[in-house]
């Protein structure tokens, strides 16, 4: 059975962010997952202090900062999928979600310590809720961030709402939130038994073998079009 963790980054446990996260997790359960919802505002999560710039290998699990992030780390390590639900504060996640993200570096940076990001292969979903706009700016940032850490983004991995009304009356958005929960769970189940690694450092040894082949193609292409391009390009130059 897969375990899907929902992180609520809204201070309001009765608002639209919470509602959509709840719907998503219910859909995860329906799709065969065990789930848990955490209200981050109930946790003391301190700012990352950027250790790795002073000492690259010092950023690792467990993080040197002693606070409630310890509990969150352990839940994330256990999770097959994580749904980040956040209000849209100035086109970005709330600062508490941001602190969780920054502190996740301690898991991601394990790549330099035991060869593998500790969140590699986990599945991510996003729920973003605001009063007016900025949802895609937020979602795109989260996708780029989480994917760089090793998370999988399954199809239609996000749901958003950007109006002041009660989202419970918006069937279309509820359907999308439910599908975030479903898609994250389906993907988590699909990769559950995948025993391979995703980022393979050993490809380094293989690269030299293809390098010369690629260089040959480049040389041919260059000969074919470079002369013509340079004629066009330099047409108006006057040194």
Footprint of its own copies on residues 164-223 (CB under 8 A)?
164, 168, 171, 174-175, 178-179, 182-183, 186-187, 190-191, 194, 196, 198-201, 203-204, 206-207, 210-211, 213-215, 217-219, 221-222
- When the beta carbons of 77 and 201 are compared against its own copies, the nearer one is 201
Q: How far apart are CA 132 and CA 170, in angstroms?
A: 16
Residue 77 interacting with its own copies (CB under 8 A)? no
Cα 116 to chain centroid, rounded: 16
Residue 152 interacting with its own copies (CB under 8 A)? yes
CB-count burial class (<10 Å; 0-12, 13-18, 19+) for 92: middle
Residue 148 interacting with its own copies (CB under 8 A)? yes
Q: How many CB atoms lie within 10 A of CB 54?
A: 9
Q: Residues 57, 71, 78, 165: which binds its own copies (CB under 8 A)? A: 57
Whole-number minimum distance, CB 170 to its own copies, in Å? 11
Q: Residues 33, 135, 185, 188: which binds its own copies (CB under 8 A)? A: 135
Choices 68-76, 77-85, 141-149; region in contact with its own copies by CB under 8 A: 141-149
Q: How far apart are CA 224 and CA 231, in angstroms?
A: 13
3-state secondary structure of 125: strand
Show Cβ contacts of residue 25 under 8 Å, excluding neighbours closer than 6 positions.
Answer: 4, 6, 35, 37, 83, 181
Whole-number minimum distance, CB 231 to its own copies, in Å? 10
Q: How far apart are CA 140 and CA 233, in angstroms?
A: 36
Q: Are the C-beta atoms of residues 85 and 18 closer than 8 Å to each other? A: yes
- When the beta carbons of 13 and 75 are compared against its own copies, the nearer one is 13
Dihedral sign of CA atoms 37, 179, 18, 174 in order: negative
- When the beta carbons of 71 and 144 are compared against its own copies, the nearer one is 144
Whole-number minimum distance, CB 93 to its own copies, in Å? 8
Q: Residues 79, 102, 107, 110: which binds its own copies (CB under 8 A)? A: 102
State which of positions 14-43 bind its own copies (CB under 8 A). 14-15, 18-19, 22-23, 26-27, 30, 41
Whole-number minimum distance, CB 76 to its own copies, in Å? 15
Q: How far apart are CA 208 and CA 231, in angstroms?
A: 34
């Amino acid at each position: 059975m897969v375990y899907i963790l929902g992180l609520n980054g809204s201070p309001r446990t009765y608002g639209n962010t919470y509602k959509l996260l709840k719907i998503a997790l219910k859909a995860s359960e329906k799709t065969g997952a065990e789930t848990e919802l955490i209200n981050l505002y109930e946790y003391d999560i301190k700012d990352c202090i950027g250790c790795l710039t002073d000492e690259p290998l010092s950023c690792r699990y467990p993080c040197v900062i002693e606070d409630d992030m310890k509990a969150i780390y352990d839940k994330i390590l256990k999770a097959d999928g994580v749904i980040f639900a956040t209000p849209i504060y100035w086109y970005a996640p709330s600062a508490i979600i941001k602190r969780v993200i920054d502190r996740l570096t301690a898991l991601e940076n394990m790549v330099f310590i035991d060869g593998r990001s500790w969140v590699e292969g986990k599945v991510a979903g996003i729920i973003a809720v605001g009063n007016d706009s900025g949802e895609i700016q937020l979602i795109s940032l989260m996708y780029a961030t989480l994917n760089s850490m090793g998370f999988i983004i399954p199809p239609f991995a996000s749901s958003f709402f950007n109006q002041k009304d009660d989202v419970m009356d918006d069937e279309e958005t509820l359907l999308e939130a439910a599908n975030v929960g479903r898609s994250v769970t389906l993907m988590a189940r699909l990769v559950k038994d995948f025993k391979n690694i995703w980022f393979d450092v050993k490809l380094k040894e293989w690269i030299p073998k293809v390098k010369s082949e690629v260089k040959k193609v480049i040389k041919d292409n260059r000969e074919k079009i470079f002369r013509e391009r340079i004629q066009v390009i330099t047409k108006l130059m006057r040194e």
